[in-house]
Amino acid sequence: MVIKSAEFVMSNSEVGKCPKDLLPEYAFIGRSNVGKSSLINMLTNHKNLAKTSGRPGKTQLINHFLINKNWFLVDLPGYGYAKVSKTAKKKFQKFITDYFEKRQQLISAFILVDIRHEPQNIDLEFMEYLGVSQIPFSIIFTKADKLKPKAIERHVEDYTKELLKTWEELPNYFVTSSSKSIGRDEVLNFIDATNSEINALRS
């Protein structure tokens, strides 16, 4: 997929106020500081489409970006650690689940996981929530440039072993690096192929 256009459309905290278009949506979510904004900028080939920050928990709204005028990339708040009040955290955790459970345009989620770390309970719990809710998702391992190839293989293997303790089959996964543009084509081609399938079913 060639990204010809990527534009910010809106931010809000209520699912009912999301765009009314029936275009397919792909939601990106992960723990705070997992490199989500950098990944979105890398995928869309824009330096500042998503606001990057050294401060975890910067994204606190549902952000819609229209890609190639035919699908939405949705940037969701990180779950887990974030320097916000408990009230604010409860509020955005609620609209995250509202988004996943009510947004009919959602085609698939991408759960971002820092490849350098062993499986974290909060990530595994969120994947379990999506599985129980029957929401399709893929895993995106981020920051692959921080490890050597053998270490990447080992970490992915450890993760898949952990998942297979509770999952009958593994979700799709992609290994990425925002600084080296690793995995960009694979993620975009997956979205492109999925959009083609949807269009074929609709026609």
**195, 62, 140, 169 alpha-carbon torsion, rounded to 10°:** -70
Q: What pLDDT score does 56 carry?
A: 46
Task: Give the pLDDT mean for 142-163.
Answer: 96
Choose between 58 and 150: higher pLDDT.
150
Would the pTM of this model clear 0.85, i.e. be above it? yes
- Look at 105 and 125; give whichever has higher pLDDT: 105
pLDDT score recorded for residue 136: 95
Q: Which residues pair with 106 in a beta bridge?
A: 25
Tens of pLDDT, residues 175-199: 999 999 999 999 999 999 999 999 8
Domains of the chain, earliest start first: 6-150+166-202 (3.40.50.300)
Res. 32: pLDDT tops 90: no
Cα(103)–Cα(26) distance, integer angstroms: 11
Q: Which residues of 108-138 are buried (b: 16+ CB within 10 A; e: fewer)?
A: bbbbbbbbeeebeeebbebbeebeeeebebb
Mean pLDDT of 9-24: 93
Query: Residue 145 carries which DSSP code?
Result: G
Give the model confidence (pLDDT) of 59-82 as tens digits.
578 999 999 999 999 999 887 654
Contact 6, 65 (CB under 8 A): yes
* CB burial string 179-202: b at 16+ within 10 A, e below: eeebbbeebbebbeebbeeeeeee
Nearest to 72 by CA among 27, 13, 136: 27
Helices and strands (H and E) in the chain: how many: 5, 7
- Identify the bridge partners of residue 64 per DSSP, sorted by sequence position: 10, 74
In 3D space, the residue among 115, 125, 126 whose CA is nearest the CA of residue 149 turns out to be 115
pLDDT digits (tens, 9 = 90+) for 77-89: 887 654 556 666 5
What distance lies between CA 95 and its chain's CA centroid?
A: 16
User: What CA–CA distance (Å, rounded) separates 127 from 59?
Assistant: 20
